[in-house]
Amino acid sequence: MLLIKTRALTHHSIPSFLPHRVQRVINQRAIDACKAHVNAVAKVFNGAERAAIVAQLNVLERTLALRKKKNVGLIAQAESFALLVGAGRITSCKSAKDRTGMAVTLEQAEYLQQYVGIRDAKWANVATNVMRARGTRRENVEKNTGSPYYAFNKVQVHQLPPHYRPPIGSFGGKVT
């Protein structure tokens, strides 16, 4: 089975010890490994599936080539690729709590849009915020830290891309 790991956003664009070019090389190697895997198991996919997979790999490469400071599109495209090929995938930040919760709930809302029929982006955003405010990710934070609040302060929240921001009233915890 193919396993894809995506990294949830850091408070800064990347850790200070990992320059952008190194991160791009790592991501490109991962894309190359995905291509090699798809080529190795190509016979299990029909022609239309192979075409969709190749197209998604091309989207991944174009997204990586954008060289954005916070390339959140790369995470979303890796999620789509993993679903397409039936791969296992992990999203995690350093502590697997706050930023991971934001990434996972966004992915869940995207799943609701694609597969359950919530087509309106407004309602998908509402679902994301409800999951972040009242869902199991919030319970995980409380069990892990003893506080029901994500450990973001206001400055950190504003540094996050808009789709990764927790709802008002759900952050401000002291434990990281």
What residues are annotated to the active site?
A: 93
What is the C-alpha to C-alpha distance for residues 137 and 25, in angstroms, rounded to an integer? Answer: 31
Residue with structure tokens 């697997």?
96
What is the C-alpha to C-alpha distance for residues 165 and 129, in angstroms, rounded to an integer? Answer: 9
69 and 160 Cβ atoms separated by less than 8 Å: no
Give the DSSP letter string of 117-149.
----HHHHHHHHHHHHHHSHHHHHHHHHHS-SS
Q: Which residues contact 159 (CB under 8 A, 6 or more apart)?
A: 11, 12
3-class secondary-structure state, position 2: coil
